[in-house]
């Protein structure tokens, strides 16, 4: 009887010690399995391409050249010394530059049209004799209505330089200066194309760099097409 009791005690002790050893051996195996699974998941995440974010839209820079104008018409004036007419047929190319970005930098924010204009031109003079004028003017154009208006009345004024091939009694030089002032209007028959009509007064003189310097005053009516960018 004692022998059987001792036998069961030994079996029970071995059973407990074996379970403990199995538990200690199985725990590292489970941990190793967990680590391997985590590593596999990490590799899968790295291998999976991430969705690309759409590129941020680039900020549009303001346009500098905002339009061009092709103008022609008729000009007339008087030579005060020679007592003869001074008539011209001009051909003008106006390059319109938006001045609002520049004005905004100095905290001036106009709601109407404000443009700087570079105007190279050539004129065929029909009276008093056939000759030509070639020159360039720098002008300011200020509209009276918002730029989205279908009809845009404006003021235009400025100064420039010109060369006349005709020798006159009024001017001691063929190189002269010009000053312009006038009113006009654009009528937009499409979103960005307009018919333009304009009236101007022009004074021509050599600013006293030569004698005589009587000056030649002329009036112009011009029309043409304006293309807005």
Residue 218 has pLDDT above 80, yes or no: yes
- pLDDT tens per residue, range 135-187: 999 999 999 999 889 999 999 999 999 999 988 889 999 999 999 999 999 99
Please tell me the number of Cα atoms within 13 Å of 116 on its side-chain side: 11
In this prediction, residue 64 carries a pLDDT of 84
**Nearby residues of 82 by Cβ (< 8 Å), 6 or more positions away:** 128, 168, 169, 170
Name which of 30-34, 67-71, 76-80, 182-186 the model is least confident about: 30-34
Work out the average pLDDT over 185-194: 97
Task: For residues 96-115, give the mean pLDDT.
Answer: 93
Q: Which has the higher per-residue pLDDT, 158 or 29? A: 158
Does the model's pTM come out above 0.75? Answer: no
Burial class (CB in 10 A: 0-12, 13-18, 19+), 34: exposed
Q: What's the mean pLDDT when you consider all of the chain? A: 83
Tell me which of 52 and 2 has the higher pLDDT: 52
The whole-angstrom separation of Cα 96 and Cα 102 is: 14
CA 110 to chain centre: 16
Across the range 25-34, mean pLDDT stands at 48
Q: Residue 67: pLDDT above 90?
A: yes
Higher pLDDT, 97 or 82: 97
More confident residue, 212 or 44: 212
* Burial class of 95 by CB neighbour count within 10 A (0 to 12, 13 to 18, 19+): middle
Residues 198 and 222 sit within 8 Å (Cβ to Cβ): yes
Q: Domains of the chain: which residue ranges? A: 67-228
- pLDDT value at residue 40: 55
pLDDT at 22 over 60: no
Which of the pair, 25 or 198, is modelled with greater confidence? 198
Average pLDDT over residues 32-36: 52
pLDDT tens digits for range 46-64? 455 555 565 655 545 556 8
Architecture of domain 67-228: Beta Barrel (2.40)
């Amino acid at each position: 009887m004692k022998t059987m009791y001792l036998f069961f005690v030994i079996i029970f002790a071995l059973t407990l010690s074996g379970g403990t050893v199995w538990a200690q051996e199985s725990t590292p195996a489970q941990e190793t399995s967990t680590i391997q699974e985590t590593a596999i998941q990490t590799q899968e995440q790295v291998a999976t391409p991430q969705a690309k974010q759409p590129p941020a839209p680039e900020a549009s820079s303001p346009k500098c050249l905002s339009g061009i104008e092709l103008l022609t018409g008729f000009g007339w004036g008087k030579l005060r010394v020679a007592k003869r007419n001074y008539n011209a047929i001009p051909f003008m190319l106006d390059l319109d530059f938006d001045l609002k970005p520049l004005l905004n930098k100095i905290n001036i924010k106009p709601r109407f049209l404000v443009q700087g204009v570079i105007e190279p031109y050539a004129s065929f003079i029909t009276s008093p004799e056939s000759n030509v004028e070639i020159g360039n003017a720098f002008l300011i154009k200020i509209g009276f209505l918002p730029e989205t208006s279908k009809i845009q009345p404006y003021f235009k004024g400025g100064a420039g330089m010109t060369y006349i091939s005709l020798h006159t009694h009024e001017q001691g030089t063929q190189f002269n200066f010009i000053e312009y002032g006038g009113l006009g209007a654009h009528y937009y028959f499409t979103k960005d194309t307009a018919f333009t009509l304009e009236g101007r007064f022009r004074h021509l003189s050599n600013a006293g760099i030569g004698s005589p310097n009587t000056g030649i005053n002329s009036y112009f009516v011009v029309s043409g097409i304006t293309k807005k960018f």
